[in-house]
A and B are shown apart, each in its own frame.
Chain A
Amino acid sequence: MSDQTQTDRARPEPIKAVPVRHPGRWLAIAVLAVLTAMFLHLILTNDQFRWSFIFNSYEPGKRGVMFTEPVLEGLRGTLLLTVTSMAIGVVFGVVIAIMRLSDNWILRGVAFVYTWFFRAVPRLVLAVLFGNLNILWDRIGFGLPFDQQIGKLFGIDDLNAQFYSVKASDLLAGFVAGMLALGLSEAAYMAEIVRAGIQSIDPGQAEAATALGLSRSQVLRRVVLPQAMRVIVPPTGNEVIAMVKDTSLVAFVPVTFELFFQLNAIKARTFVVLPVLVAAVIWYLIICTVLMVAQYFVERHFGRGYGTAGQARQRLRNIQAEQGSSSTAGGVT
């Protein structure tokens, strides 16, 4: 019935209406345009920026401050520190999250205390603290714990049951101290992120997997974590970017093998302040831009995707999901 009436009637003229004016919007755009012009004018014409100091040569016979050897070395240090401390953070974070969700109250308690401590203490304080922890020990080794005390119990003076040890001030200083301070602190945040991810998964998933005879670790690795990744990845991207910037805190350990420390050293030596800071800003902008692009792709992968599936099938699913309901694919991430 209704089909017929529709075909019978002529299609009305497309609507041609005068759009609503938005004078406020135009005003805002105008203000922003002026501000942008002022900013560009400032950085292009003000010679205090000393762009050639930054890009070309900061001293006769040397490259610009951004590309000089110690700064590039520092950049490598910053990236290495980011990667290693994030790796520590993710691995420990997953372990602590699992402890936090354990049936055993001791494991839960330990995980809670860990998270409590490392979230409460500022990273700057942790960095300085870890740089000075080595005064607690002479040597740090791996072997039987409490070996000296146990030796005394049996009447042996100075029992040494450490099969490998190094001088504490060699091991727990500089880079390693900075890496541990950042990594252990990161683990506390990652633990919360992973816990939220795991808890967001319907318990029916774990139940179905358990009923099939999967072991506890298989349930976690095969069923729960792959789904939890969709919730875990976006905040983890934030954490990585925050970590890049927080690596500059290890200058207080002190670690010299770090971007901002190296730039600061040049600043102190040449008494040129602003251009060195601008160089630092540019490097951090570049690193974070690269990471944000990477995060976009990783998020897209997990947000729509379903880890173990073949790429082609995944794409097919994505297309069909998008056609079916446009909210599911994009809405999740």
Chain B
Amino acid sequence: MTVEMVRADNVHKSFGSLEVLKGVDLVVNAGEVCCVLGPSGSGKSTFLRCVNHLEKINAGKIFVDGDLVGYHERGGKLHEMKGKDVARQRRSIGMVFQRFNLFPHMTSLQNVMEAPCRVKKESKAEVRERAASLLERVGLGSKIDAYPGMLSGGQQQRVAIARALAMRPKLMLFDEPTSALDPELVGEVLDVMKDLARDGMTMVVVTHEIGFAREVGDQVVFMDGGVVVEKGSPAEILANPKHERTQAFLSKVL
């Protein structure tokens, strides 16, 4: 039986009078890699941020692993979650940002250890071991004591991935993880992500890397103007897009 890891039902989101998401529907099954494509300003980042409640949605519902994000439903009424409960939901959702956002005052190891130690209050020695092996896994075993300022962009992004993995998430969100990298550094980050996908991690990846989507994606979603225009397997969407907006976008990117 397949488990729905992410389910978005008719999600709307506005900033003031600007409606950015106009009814997004999406289902991502556990173990699936979902790649989100779309032109700039189509609301891809906003949607991703709604999934872990960094943004409050105005209408619709988002479920992660069956739990409603950001609200309790009691007697048919929605109650806003307390900060503590939202934080608990976020623990099981890892997020990786375009600009890495590593903590510059902490070493790689400290960056990775911070959340498990502070949020989950796990034992320091155990976390240290796990953090070191995670950094090893992303190919940075020799950089555990380096500060982010001493690392290349690709290395920083790999630390950021390790940092998110340290919380043992069941879902990983990637927002254009390679867009801020020099071309020769893109590959090393994508390799780590492919490795994760092979291990069965559920991933939602906003990306412009069509090659990655084709190779790793189980589902490709094309967004434009705040809605999902088209979705399907990579072969369907990338090879024969049905919608003309998808065709126009792909002809520019490919």
Contacts and interface: CB of A to CB of B under 8 A. Distances in A.
Given A306-B106, A320-B150, A321-B149, A212 B114 contact: yes
B147 interface: yes
Contacts of B150: 317, 320-321, 324
B105 A309 contact: yes
Given A210-B54, A215-B83, A306 B147 contact: yes
A69 interface: no
A212 B106 contact: no
A155 interface: no
B110 interface: yes
Contact of A207 (B93, B97, B107, B167): B97
Given A211-B54, A213-B87, A317-B150, A227 B167 contact: no
B107 A213 contact: no
B210 interface: no
A7 interface: no
Nearest to B52: A211
Residue from B83, B84, B103 having most chain A Cβ neighbours under 10 A: B103
Given A215-B83, A222-B118, A209 B103 contact: yes
Contacts of A207: 54, 97, 101
A223 B119 contact: no
A307 B52 CA distance: 30
Interface string B48-83: 000010100000000000000000000000000001
A40 interface: no
A198 to B, nearest CB: 14
Contacts of B147: 306, 309, 317
Interface in A281-319: 306-309, 313, 317
A204 B101 contact: yes
B12 interface: no
Contacts of B107: 309, 313
A149 interface: no
A309 to B, nearest CB: 6
Nearest to A217: B83
Contacts of A202: 101
Chain B binding site: helix, strand, loop or mixed by DSSP?
A: mixed
Interface residues on B, range: 20 to 34
B97 A208 contact: yes
A307 B110 CA distance: 12
Contact of A212 (B99, B104, B149, B167): B167
Nearest to B150: A320
A218 interface: yes
B90 A211 contact: yes
Contacts of B94: 211
B145 A313 contact: yes
Residue from A208, A307, A324 having most chain B Cβ neighbours under 10 A: A208
Interface string A190-208: 0000000000001011011
A227 B97 contact: no
Interface in B98-137: 99, 101-107, 110, 114-115, 118-119
B118 A214 contact: yes
Given A222-B118, A306-B106, A321-B149, A212 B90 contact: yes
Interface in A211-236: 211-216, 218, 222-223, 226-227
Contact of B103 (A205, A211, A321, A324): A205
Residue from A204, A212, A223, A306 having most chain B Cβ neighbours under 10 A: A212
B164 interface: yes
Nearest to A227: B105
Contacts of A308: 105-106, 110
A204 B103 contact: no
A211 to B, nearest CB: 4
Nearest to B98: A204
A206 to B, nearest CB: 9
A207 B53 CA distance: 11
B99 A204 contact: yes
Given A211-B54, A215-B87, A204 B97 contact: yes
A222 B91 CA distance: 17
B101 A212 contact: no
23 contacts: A204-B99, A205-B101, A207-B54, A208-B95, A208-B101, A208-B160, A212-B91, A214-B87, A214-B115, A214-B118, A214-B119, A218-B119, A223-B103, A226-B105, A227-B104, A227-B105, A306-B104, A306-B106, A308-B105, A309-B106, A309-B147, A317-B150, A321-B149
In the complex, the 4 A-B pairs of residues with the closest C-beta atoms, listed nearest first = A306-B105, A208-B101, A213-B91, A212-B115
Given A308-B105, A309-B106, 5 more contacts: A209-B103, A212-B119, A212-B167, A306-B104, A313-B145
